[in-house]
Amino acid sequence: MDKMTQKERLLEFIEFLKMGQNKFEKTVGLATGNIAHWDMNVPPKAQAKIYAAFPELNHVWLLTGVGEMLKEVQPEEEPSTPAVAVVNDTREQELLQSTIAALRETIEAQKLTIQALSDQVAMLKAHGTKPF
């Protein structure tokens, strides 16, 4: 896991897109200046909007810094004839297995995030600071 925050990784993605922050916020459906007000993490509702607008963004990378910034994009298949239906079923299974694997990666990344946040709460409690 890298030392960058989720916000820093998101800004890196925006830079990669060669898109200004305001244009990105408008494209995603966020209020102008919204990103500037975030501390370190991208709020879950904003994540959902970002992933919907940019499905190529690797959510595991955004959350944890693990992996590549972009997902490997699979080319879309052309409509098939009934004679190719068995191949499509196999392809569907592969896509489902790939989706399941990606979701498992997300779960593992979220476990890491939860652990890191739990550690931060414990540290704050140890110093007599209320976490909320």
64 exposed, middle or buried (CB, 10 Å; 0-12, 13-18, 19+)?
A: buried
Check the CA dihedral 115-119-122-128 and report its sign: negative
Distance CA 103, CA 56 (A): 15
Distance CA 6, CA 112 (A): 13
SS3 assignment, position 130: coil
Distance CA 50, CA 44 (A): 10
pLDDT by residue (tens digit) across 71-84? 876 666 555 544 44
Q: Which residue has the tokens 């209320």?
A: 130
pLDDT category at 5 given cuts 50, 70, 90 is very high
Say what the pTM is.
Answer: 0.56
What is the pLDDT at residue 78? 55
Give yes or no for residue 53 having a pLDDT over 60: yes
What is the pLDDT at residue 105? 74
CB 50 within 8 A of CB 57: yes
pLDDT category at 86 given cuts 50, 70, 90 is very low
